[in-house]
Chain A
Amino acid sequence: MSSEKQEREPLFSAKNRKLLTNPLGVDNPITVQVLGICSALAVTAKLKPAFVMSLSVIAVIVFANLIISLMRNGIPPRIRIIVQLVVIASLVILVDQFLKAFVFDVSKQLSVFVGLIITNCIIMGRLEAFAMSNKPWPSVLDGIGNGIGYAWVLVAVGFVRELFGSGTIWGYAVIPESFYNIGYENNGFMILPPMALIIVGIIIWIQRSRNPELVEEN
């Protein structure tokens, strides 16, 4: 493809739309690339921290993609990983500072996990695989796509775990008292990290059974 042709490409061309939609399904960072599992286990016991974590990761991945893409022609290849890490780490520190200033209780819940966004392999993966070799706009779309692809899995897992583990959604009780009176109990196992792995596994299973292209042949 010639470069002039790329200049005239519309903002939401078919190719750009694919950057946005592929990571939601067939190229999902969690269920297909199996990246970022650590945080998917750690912050999904309740919906609210899962949601805030998702927003934080989306913010970091979009801006990191944009910044690296803008810098891509000047970055010396020999220190490119360090440059990427500095960009990610600075953004994460900014996010952490903002959370502490504006949503303190959430930042308390996320505590160490905000710092762990730095090591979320989705972000470095996208920088190295995409932003280093693409223009800013597609990189932003790629960041949004992958961020949302990560977010929906996190939110889905958080939803299931909070509903069955604590009987609440977003902190509000949704399972009526009468259920408990006739012997229903919250599943304490749902609160523990292994359950997140099992739920992610179930999501992967459903996705692959509906889309056989994803199934490896052997």
Chain B
Amino acid sequence: MHVETFLPAFIMFAVLGLVLPVILSNLSMAGRLMPEDDTATDTPAASGAASVYDQIGGAAAVDAAVDVFYRRVLADAYVNRFFQGVDMEKQAAKQKAFLTMVMGGPHNYTGKDMREGHRHLVKMGLDGTHFDHILMHLRATLAELGVPENLIQTIIGVAESTRDDVLDR
């Protein structure tokens, strides 16, 4: 749930020298989550090699990240109007699913989901700058939790790949 559960798991992997080779093998998996691949429901974790999700501590790490991420997003006056009137518990579950997806964990997000789930926000004016803010909060969250730069870049690359679906274009 908290950072303490997250850092030891990462440090253990880093000390074992497993980080780089696993990232390299995971980069190709990130490609499965590209928006045009609407049928991507496969889980990298189930396919053998460790995903970024596993490397940073799995569900516990995602829970910690959701708390930090959500706090940052809601404190950002440029984007928080898109969360007005939203059921906070449902939203936390969605954020968890989103973070699990971008970290390569088990999920069933599709490009179609991303597109339909944000269409009402696009009608409210959601654009590339708001998407940039969300990416920024994700980077800041991961940095705050001690995730190394190369894993941050992998995760941001997956999040970036959802831009056109989220913005319905």
A binds B: no
